[in-house]
Amino acid sequence: MPTNLEPYWMPFTANRQFKANPRLLTGAKDMHYTTADGRQILDGTAGLWCVNAGHSRPKIVEAIQKQVAHLDYAPPFQMGHPGAFELAEKLVHMMPGGHFDHVFYGNSGSEAVESALKIAIAYHRVRGEGSRVRLIGRERGYHGVGFGGISVGGIGANRKFFGSLLPGVDHLPHTHNLEQNAFTRGQPQWGTHLADELERIINLHDASTIAAVIVEPVAGSTGVLIPPVGYLERLRAICDQYNILLIFDEVITGFGRLGASFAIEYFGVIPDMITVAKGITNGTVPMGAVLTRKGIYDAFMERVPENSIELFHGYTYSGHPLACAAALATLEVYQEEELFKRANELAGYWQEAIHSLNGLPHVIDIRNLGLVAGIELAPRSGQPGTRGMECLQRCYETGLLIRTTGDIIALSPPLMIQKDQIDQLVEILGGVLKEVV
């Protein structure tokens, strides 16, 4: 065990609080973590929304081991290796409707987002519409931590310390509204009109200045905000009308989380690009990617002179052999175990189990879709976030990993969860909610 916790500057963590009372995980198998003090913790969050097939799955472990011993690294610029091409082909085949035909790799959701935003601006420029440089995000959106991602993102705390960010960015309003939608099962009815705000922003800046709109189909990080019925369809229609690219950030919603392959399948709305990460490798090796709709790659190939680089962008570790091997094995596990279908079949049981927490102290909303749920607690007056943090700590002590963002609890278990484990999760959480004042 480490003797000195100090030198590690932990990300998105209250460092002093953690180091005074550390929560160290030392092992993981299927639905459980093992803690440093030897306890089993039920994983209610698939790690950080990424371990969709469950932990330490032998097929994925073996694929990574085999790959590292065989080809540890290959330069991605001007060189290639088979896995990167095989994976790209599998991914485009997996996309519903055959609308997407190319894959650009990065190493995280953040890098996928930076890549998608850059591709959007470059796409317009290469087509002779270089005035389309503006990007539209949404309040309470999370698109990672790059400067592009925090600029289009809508989380005040992630933006305010970091200077002037990207210029030319505007934001749609978020769709969260407890007065109208509290305790909705699935998609809420109220709020579709909020998509029309896009028209207002377009009128303000003129469509000829706007490159792309980026949203999470379901906002995960800021507390599971589920799109109103018809909202995403409306965004799509407005983007079509003004030739603006629509980007869905599926870093969380991709790979079965909603009980469908991707949110685009679940909602039946087809954007121009999607960003993925997390579940693409079951969380084992960092990887992110952008999938582009037919026509985007072609625009570059048709207009940039042959033998020139078409896109001046990429990472040392784009399409890393270990990540590709992990992703290929992960996709096999998803398919063999029909995990997306399984998530869909469990969604009804999950919904009723989670909504059984309605009525417990401080619970002001419960919302769910697929195998995701958000439970919103009333904040303590003058101490926002402390009630949520206390729930996380008590759940951890009682054997359950939850995720909190302020006073909102987010749940997203591995898709292999069993019904009795859902019952156990709800029982532990219910017990904690009854105790926490």
Q: Which residues bind ligand PXG (CB under 6 A)?
A: 48-49, 108-110, 113, 142-144, 216, 220-221, 249, 251-252, 277, 403, 405, 410
Choose among ligand PXG, ligand PLP, none what residue 350 binds, the Cβ cut-off being 5 to 8 Å by kind. none
Residue among 120, 84, 82 at smallest CA distance from 105: 84
104 binds ligand PLP (CB under 6 A): no
User: 3-state DSSP: the chain helix, strand, coil percent, rounded to 5?
Assistant: 40, 20, 40
Pairwise CA distance, residues 377 & 181, whole Å: 15
Cβ–Cβ < 8 Å for 333, 151: no
- DSSP letter at 403 equals E
Burial (Cβ within 10 Å: 0-12, 13-18, ≥19) of residue 117? buried
Pairwise CA distance, residues 300 & 9, whole Å: 41
77 binds ligand PLP (CB under 6 A): no
At closest approach, how far in Å is the CB of 413 from ligand PXG? 14
One character per residue 256-295, x = contact with ligand PLP (rule: CB under 6 A): ----------------------------------------
Select from 137-145, 196-204, 263-271, 310-318 the region that touches ligand PLP (CB under 6 A): 310-318
End-to-end CA distance of the chain: 34
Cβ–Cβ < 8 Å for 17, 3: no
At closest approach, how far in Å is the CB of 18 from ligand PXG? 15
Residue among 221, 219, 229, 242 at smallest CA distance from 138: 219
Binding residue for ligand PLP, selected from 317, 334, 340, 350, defined by CB under 6 A = 317
Nearer to ligand PXG, 111 or 170 (CB): 111
Pairwise CA distance, residues 51 & 56, whole Å: 9
Number of residues that bind ligand PLP (CB under 6 A): 3
- Strand positions, DSSP E, 149-236: 169-172, 210-215
Choose among ligand PLP, ligand PXG, none what residue 316 binds, the Cβ cut-off being 5 to 8 Å by kind. ligand PLP
73 binds ligand PLP (CB under 6 A): no
Binding residue for ligand PLP, selected from 33, 100, 123, 315, defined by CB under 6 A = 315
Binding residue for ligand PLP, selected from 17, 26, 316, 418, defined by CB under 6 A = 316
Choose among ligand PLP, ligand PXG, none what residue 217 binds, the Cβ cut-off being 5 to 8 Å by kind. none
Nearer to ligand PXG, 210 or 277 (CB): 277
Q: 3-class SS at 221?
A: coil
Choose among ligand PLP, ligand PXG, none what residue 228 binds, the Cβ cut-off being 5 to 8 Å by kind. none
Q: 3-class SS at 232?
A: helix
105 binds ligand PLP (CB under 6 A): no
Tokens 């784009």 sit on residue = 318
Q: Which residues bind ligand PLP (CB under 6 A)?
A: 315-317
